[in-house]
Amino acid sequence: MTWGGGGTEPVRGASEPDVETIAGELLDQALAERRALVQLCLYALDRARSSGVVERIEEGLSAIGVTALRPDGERFDPSVHEAGGVVPTDDVTLDGLVAETEVVGFADRGRTLRAPIVIVYTAR
């Protein structure tokens, strides 16, 4: 960067990137790295054997806006849940509700990263 004719304002050379460009590139890099770390945490969660480790990773993810989706007791919605199976019930009030979450889903600030896989009650 050079300084123009006695003024206080710098004159940018054609080859020098501006601050906004650098900031944008750094933001893009940081977001890509965040996505990679979140995916790594989900991979580790799927393989964790200790409930304490699972809890700690979920707490860490939650602190950055990534929440676990366990829709037990909610109405099954194929647009946000994946059916992994059904369990018959004689209680018609349970028909169509999620009985159990088989695989926990995750959302990042409301955007689904992975849909939960659930078992759904069905009336006999």
How do the domains of the chain map onto residue ranges? 9-64, 66-124
Residue with token string 């979920």: 58
Tokens of 30: 């940081």
CATH topology of domain 66-124: Nucleotide Exchange Factor Grpe; Chain A, domain 2 (2.30.22)
Calculate Rg over the CA atoms of the chain.
Answer: 24
Residue among 41, 43, 39, 36 at smallest CA distance from 60: 41
Model pLDDT for residues 46-99, shown as the tens digit of each residue: 999 999 999 999 999 999 999 999 999 999 999 999 999 999 999 999 999 999
Give the model confidence (pLDDT) of 105-115 as tens digits: 999 999 999 99
For the entire predicted model, the pTM comes to: 0.78
User: Which pLDDT score is estimated for 4?
Assistant: 56
Tokens of 99: 């009985």
Largest alpha-carbon pair distance within the chain?
Answer: 87
